[in-house]
A = this chain, B = another copy of it.
C-alpha cells in the first residue's frame, strides 16, 4: 500500500459530517455546516480532506429497484472445486464484470462465496444462471435463496 495517506483520527465533527452525508449528499455546505456546528469554510475543508483520504469514497444516486422492474433478489451460495488463490481470483474477476451481481463476499464456513444478485423476474434470473454463472469453470455447487422482500437496505455505515 504505497499510496496510503494517513488519516488522523476522525473527531466528533468528522463523524457528524460522514453521518449526514451518508444520509443525504445533496446538503449544501451551508446546511451541513449548520448541522455540525461549523461555518462553511472549515466544514468544506473537512469534507475535501475526507474525500482525498478516501474516507468518503464516492457520491452516488440510489435508484428504486421496483421502478426498474427488478423484482427478484437472490442470494447465491457458491462452492468452488478448488480454493487456490488463482481460482479465487478468476472467480472474482468474472463476477465483477456482471452488473446483476451487486455484492459478493468470500466467506468462512461451508461455502466459499455469497452473492447478492438482482433480476427482472425468474426467467431472466434463469438466463443469468445458464448463460453466466454455470458456465464458469471450477464451480462445485450453486445454491439459490430467494428474498421475498427487502426489510432494510442501508448504505450508511455506523459512525
Contact = CB atoms under 8 A, between A and B. Distances in A.
Interface in A35-70: 53-65, 67-68, 70
A58 B62 contact: yes
A60 B152 contact: no
Nearest to A114: B75
Nearest to A115: B152
Interface residues of A, number: 60
B56 A62 contact: yes
Given A106-B151, A114-B147, A151-B113, A57 B53 contact: no
B75 A147 contact: no
B156 A99 contact: yes
B159 A68 contact: yes
A136 interface: no
A109 B148 CA distance: 10
Contacts of A73: 105
A131 interface: no
A64 B61 CA distance: 17
B59 A63 contact: no
A107 interface: yes
B96 A151 contact: yes
A59 B146 contact: no
Contact of A59 (B25, B70, B148, B158): B25
Highest count of chain B CB atoms <10 Å: which of A24, A63, A148? A63
Closest CB pairs A-B (n = 9): A21-B61, A99-B158, A105-B147, A104-B152, A104-B151, A55-B67, A25-B61, A106-B148, A108-B146
